[in-house]
Structure 1
């Protein structure tokens, strides 16, 4: 197996692009090589199998989608109120819109995980760890709402993002920022 970490990251990032544009069936070594602009056969030197490619892509996707700590620090400067919560969820939607490719690839990976145990294990690990980190952050930051309110927000925002990115016309008659505010104000109590 090849050991160039920068090339491996470039190949996995190319895999994310392929997933978002071609779906799981389109994720082949040849498609990854082409998207990464490397010679044919390169991806097969970095990944033992297609399952390995899926699993490593699942591990990488959250790295790409996670905001930098300084961005989180900037976002958390205002007092931890329900209004801040609304702004944080709007920020989440904006970040996912910028990283739309990553979000769509994650949806493809979630579906593919129902058929690939190693990928499912990796996504369970990564998403559970991310969820726990965000839950602890929520509770430690003093934002309003308990752990259950955080979980309901997570589930509601996941559904909102799914609708927004996969069937945007379903909610086309509603302003996205207003929808986010509605979700937050219906779930999170005022402080």
Structure 2
């Protein structure tokens, strides 16, 4: 069960994602959480303290979402993995839209606050571990490189969907084509190397 602190942070994440950093005031978070005035300042004395707590909460929620997906996923083909990643993309741009927009707001803030960069990098390590395992399962012999390529492509897809929503958004075929291309290319390169 979520604590009052988590309720406040989730309300703050909604504000940050939907209205940006400027909307992130103690009074606005109290109102968004439906709690009495002063509730947010009881937990987070300053706006910086509130933002730092959000920086911890966003990745925790994202990891929980990703682990929920991972618990039911053992892809054997690129199509299996593409379907799972497409579902994650649709969720990120739909049900979890505010959470995803909050992550982008944090990334922008990290350009001004270098200390946030390391925290953000650390938060993605577990998700990256799942992702590289899945890439191996579908035939990748260079999952670290493929993680970078597919991860950035997936981020771009989600960002585009957030900015210019398509009601029929389904990137499954594009993700499958990318995965097939990467894995087929590596196998062709391996065959050429062994034949030379």
Q: TM-score, normalised by structure 1?
A: 0.80
The alignment's C-alpha RMSD in Å is 2.7
Q: SS state of the match for residue 14, structure 1?
A: helix
Query: Which of the residues 15, 22, 26 maps onto 2:23?
Result: 26
Q: SS state of the match for residue 168, structure 1?
A: coil
How far did 1:143 drift? Answer: 2.9
Establish whether residue 185 from structure 1 lines up as the match of residue 169 from structure 2. Answer: no
- The equivalent of 1:40 in structure 2 is 37
CA distance in 2, matches of 1:178, 1:83: 8
CA distance in 1, matches of 2:160, 2:69: 26
CA distance in 1, matches of 2:122, 2:80: 29
How far did 1:113 drift? Answer: 2.0
- The equivalent of 1:92 in structure 2 is 88
Of stretches 151-160 and 85-94 in structure 1, the one that deviates more from structure 2 is 85-94
CA deviation string 1:157-176 (max 9, x = no partner):
1111111112337xx89853
**Over alpha carbons, which structure has the higher Rg?**
2
CA distance in 1, matches of 2:50, 2:37: 16
Q: Which runs of 5+ in 1 are unaligned?
A: none
- The equivalent of 1:152 in structure 2 is 149
CA distance in 1, matches of 2:108, 2:38: 27
Q: TM-score, normalised by structure 2?
A: 0.78
Q: Which runs of 5+ in 2 are unaligned?
A: 188-196
Aligned residues: 181
